[in-house]
């Protein structure tokens, strides 16, 4: 199947324009799984709770999720994309998965980054994997990558492919995802954004691009430039992620020893 991402620079607050941009970018694309950035339709740098309340939407019956579902149905593709979610009196940094069968599910970001902590509630869904016609798709959002437990939890739950909507500003992720993929023997599609947002005095954010698709053996199959819009795809076989063997003697999941991890501690503690 063909997995891909669309890396672009969303205009803050311009949902219609951003959704239109995505529609037009994928119009003629040959793709089965499309990953879009975190907050792809709203932009990233919120400066007040009121602004979040204004732009956040319920899931699945909100405008952005409905637009993604319509695009999935129309093109017969799966889409993972980030958006601010309103649920009762709370706001989450969420990502939805839609497909040819309609809305599939939502994941709420577990590890909030920087000033997201001012406006959003840490996610309560846990890491989720959905069985689909094209493979088992798990979702994590941007900064979640910094916590190895996120990719591990997804892989242990059977993910073949980690869909990873992002708005990266730190430089570390693109060179680290190969390790996440290698240690878990999974594919990952990181969809980052480009451009700059400078909506807060003295706190400009520059997004680093470099969206990429990585294979279970830690190879970067495609990587976008740091400052250009890009729709890129790679042919992948999700079933390859189900073979966790490194060599005839080591299976990276079978060889885990959780009982030893739980027993770890300082050397001067009595056992
Ligand atoms: C991030 O989590 N948006 C860096």
Average pLDDT of span 230-246: 98
Handedness of CA 243, 239, 7, 109 (dihedral sign): negative
- What ligand 1 atom has the least distance to the C-alpha of 142? 2
29-44 b/e (C-beta count within 10 Å ≥ 16 → b): eebbbbbbbbbbbbbb
> Which tens digit of pLDDT belongs to each residue from 41-83?
999 999 999 999 999 999 999 999 999 999 999 999 999 999 9
**Active-site residue identified among 15, 21, 109, 210:** 109
Helices vs. strands in the chain: H and E counts, helices first: 7, 14
Q: What is the residue whose two structure tokens read 């060599």?
A: 247
The answer to whether residue 271 scores a pLDDT higher than 60 is no
Q: How far is the CA of 270 from the centre of ligand 1 (A)?
A: 41
pLDDT over 90 percentage in the chain: 96
> Which tens digit of pLDDT belongs to each residue from 201-211?
888 999 999 99
Q: How far is the CA of 167 from the centre of ligand 1 (A)?
A: 5
- What ligand 1 atom has the least distance to the C-alpha of 168? 4
* Whether 142 is catalytic: yes
Q: What is the residue whose two structure tokens read 């959003």?
A: 120
Which residues, judged by CB distance below 6 Å to any ligand atom, belong to the binding site of ligand 1?
38, 113, 142-143, 167-169
**Active-site residue identified among 142, 173, 210, 212:** 142
Kindly list the structural domains of the chain, giving each domain's residue range(s) and its CATH number in brackets, ordered by start: 2-268 (3.60.110.10)
* Whether 15 is catalytic: no
DSSP notation for 116-178? HHHH-PPP-S---EEEETTEEEEE--GGGGGSHHHHHHHHHTT-SEEEEE----SS-HHHHHH
Mean pLDDT computed over every residue of the chain: 97
* Whether 109 is catalytic: yes
> Which tens digit of pLDDT belongs to each residue from 131-165?
999 999 999 999 999 999 999 999 999 999 999 99
């Amino acid at each position: 199947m063909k997995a891909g991402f669309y890396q672009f620079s969303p205009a803050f607050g311009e949902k219609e324009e951003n959704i239109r941009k995505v529609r037009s970018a994928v119009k003629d694309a040959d793709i089965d799984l499309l990953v879009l950035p975190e907050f792809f339709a709203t932009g990233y740098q919120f400066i007040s709770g009121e602004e979040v309340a204004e732009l956040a939407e319920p899931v699945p019956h909100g405008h952005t999720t409905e637009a993604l579902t319509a695009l999935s149905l129309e093109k017969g593709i799966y889409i993972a994309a980030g958006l601010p979610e309103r649920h009762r009196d709370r706001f989450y940094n969420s990502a939805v998965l839609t497909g040819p069968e309609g809305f599939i599910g939502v994941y709420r970001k577990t590890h909030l980054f920087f000033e997201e902590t001012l406006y959003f509630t840490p996610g309560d869904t846990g890491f989720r994997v959905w069985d689909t016609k094209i493979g088992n798709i798990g979702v994590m959002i941007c900064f979640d990558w910094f916590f190895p437990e996120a990719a591990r939890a997804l892989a242990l739950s059977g993910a073949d492919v980690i869909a990873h909507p992002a708005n990266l500003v730190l430089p570390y992720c693109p060179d680290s995802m190969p390790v996440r993929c290698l240690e878990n023997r999974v594919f990952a599609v990181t969809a980052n954004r480009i451009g700059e947002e400078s909506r807060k005095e003295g706190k400009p954010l520059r997004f680093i691009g470099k969206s990429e698709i990585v294979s279970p053996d830690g190879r970067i199959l495609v990587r976008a430039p740091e400052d250009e819009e890009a729709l890129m795809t790679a042919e992948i076989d999700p079933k390859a992620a189900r073979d966790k063997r490194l060599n005839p003697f080591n299976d990276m999941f079978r060889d885990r020893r959780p009982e030893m991890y739980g027993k770890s501690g300082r050397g001067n503690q009595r056992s």
